[in-house]
Every structure is written in structure tokens, then in C-alpha cells.
Amino acid sequence: MQILNHYDATSVADAVAQLNKYGSSAKVMAGGTELLHTIKGNIHPNLPSYIINIKTIPGLNSITTSSTGLKIGALCTLTSVATNSNVLSTYPMLAQAASAVATNQIRNLGTIGGNLSQEVWCWYYRWEHNQFYCLRKGGSTCYAQSGVNTFHSIFGGPGGCYSVHPSDTAIALLALGASVVTSSRTIPISQFFKNISPGNVLANNEIITEIDVPTPPANALQVFTKFKFKQSFDFAVVSVGLLAAPTTGSVTTANIWLGGVGPVPIEATGAEAALKGNAISSTVATAAGAAAIANAVPLPYNHYKKNIVSTLVSRAIMSTT
């Protein structure tokens, strides 16, 4: 590793000032589980020279509730989110997603802000020493499209990239209709992600300060479910975040988001439409599962993901029965 200059920020304004000062040669560090991996692996053409540590900023690691919803500081660890009593009681899908990330050790260090803003884990993108200068990094080729694409997108390659979005908490927060609050603006989380590096709309001098989650509808079904090969820890082959309300009678609110299947999280609009206006039943669940993959365009080695998506969507809908 090259020598890095480390700076402990004392406030959000101080961190922004340092980012303005050093520009693209500076990176923000919170838990560090993502940043240190990318630096040690030399996965980018250019390494940062300055690390702006924001863990030293007070007030960014609290979880509070109000009449309008939940506020989660960007520095809250995934463990603190997964075990918070208010999250468990009112936003159980978010607790499920946070507890599904990686291992205990990583959840104890990793922050929710970092989990949302992590880069993709496509093996071509992450290959050490930047051996594949891929399309997502500014190159001309998505190597996954004609290469080994077992874990890649089944919903095409917007912009040509066939990587998959890795964040578990993002899928839950999208279904819950959350917003990302930064040092300069509030962004609906549905507008936060993009399909080029680093995967989100944050400017170089912008940091996440808070996640705002509105109060979910009363009598709502909330489910986060994830299929992975390593049961002890792994990224999602497919994940599903589902919010449906009410659970009895006709469903009027249906938010269904998919992870692990596209370069950005995918809203399963067909599945939502199949669920809305109907009472939850096995027939409706099966129809919603089929609708979730109606627009899938899998690559040669990942057709199997279609069955997993339809099954997880159906099971999520039927989880109350």
C-alpha cells in the first residue's frame, strides 16, 4: 500500500472542507471495511492519497424515532441497526436486512452509510491490481457479459454493465421508501443509485449524514429475504424486500425490490401490480413471482436466478400464512 495521509474530521463541515481541499485524491472512511479492501487490492487505477475519517464526528451514530418516522445516523453500525428495539418493532424488514450482512465482526464495524455506498463486488471489477479496466470504471468492456457471469445481472446491463448491486440494507430501505440525507441535500433512496462507479450519485465532496425512514402503514407485511450459497456469510445471489399493506383484505400498498440481480436495485413493478388490489393468497403470490421475472434477460450462466427470484417473491408474500 502507498502512504496515506489520515485526517480526523471534527464536524460534517470540516469533512466537506477537507474533501474540497483534496478533491478526487481523498476518500471518506467510516467503518473502513469497504475502503480498506479496495485500497489493499488496488482495484482502481488511482489510489487515494488522503483518508478523511468521519468516525470522529459526534452525533452521527444515533437512532431516533418521531411521529414521522425513523432517523438513523450514517455512522450507526449494522449491529446497532439490527438490534435496536424501535427498528425491530416497527421496521422489522430493516432489522432482518442489517442482520443478514456478512459476519458479526463486519456488522460490528460496518456502518449503514457504508453499506449503502459500497461498490459492486463483480469479480472483474474487484480483480486485484485493476487487471480488468472494465466499463464501469471507464473502460470499454464489460467482461462479465461474455465471460463467467454466474452471479451477474439477469435484468440486462444498463449502460452496458452486468454487475449486481450488493447492499442488503438498500433493498429494505427502498421497500420502506427511505431517503438519504447528505451534507448538502436529501435524496429519495430510489434516486440514490446509478450503474457506473462508484454506484451512487454522491459528489466527491458530499457525505451521507442520516437515513430517514417514514413510518410504514399500519398492519403492513414487511419481509426481507435473501438466498446465498454460503449460509454463514455471503452476498445475496438474490434478495427481496417486500412491504405490503394491509395484510387482510385487498392490498393497497405494495413495494417489492430485488437485490443481486441488476447493477442497481430492481423494482419488481410487475409483481407489485399483481399484488395490488388483491387479497394475499397462494394464487396471487405465484402470479406475483412470475411477474417479477417477466422482463428478465439472463446471461448464459445465470438462468437459475429467475427461479430463485420468483420463489423468493412468492414466499415473501405468503410469509404471514
Q: Is the peptide bond before 198 cis (omega within 30 degrees of 0)?
A: yes
Nine-digit cell string for 119: 461498490
**Degrees (nearest 5) of the Cα angle 207, 208, 211?**
170
The secondary structure of residue 58, as a DSSP letter, is T
The mean pLDDT of 115-140, rounded to a whole number, is 94
Tens digit of each residue's pLDDT (9 = 90 or more) over 160-182: 999 999 999 999 999 999 999 99
Tens digit of each residue's pLDDT (9 = 90 or more) over 262-314: 999 999 999 999 999 999 999 999 999 999 999 999 999 999 999 999 999 99
Threshold 0.85, pTM exceeds: yes
Q: In what order do the strands lie in the sheet with 253-259?
A: 221-227, 238-245, 253-259, 266-267
Flag whether pLDDT at 244 surpasses 90: yes
Place of cell 450503474: 195
The mean pLDDT of 249-259, rounded to a whole number, is 97
Question: Chain-centre distance of CA 293, in angstroms?
Answer: 20
Tens digit of each residue's pLDDT (9 = 90 or more) over 196-239: 888 999 999 999 999 999 999 989 999 999 999 998 899 999 99
Task: Report the candidate in 179, 178, 171, 321 with the shortest Cα–Cα distance to residue 242.
Answer: 171
Q: What percent of the chain has pLDDT over 90?
A: 91
pLDDT computed for residue 158 by the predictor: 84
Q: Percentages helix, strand, coil for the chain, rounded to the nearest 5?
A: 35, 20, 45
Flag whether pLDDT at 39 surpasses 70: yes
Flag whether pLDDT at 321 surpasses 80: no
Helices 168-175 and 92-99 meet at what angle, rounded to 10? 170
Q: What are phi and psi of 247, to 5 degrees?
A: -85, -15
Query: Higher pLDDT residue, 158 or 58?
Result: 58
- Under 8 Å between Cβ of 262 and 161: no
pLDDT computed for residue 159 by the predictor: 86
Flag whether pLDDT at 1 surpasses 70: no
Identify any residues that bridge with 186 across adjacent strands, giving them in sequence order: 181
pLDDT computed for residue 104 by the predictor: 95
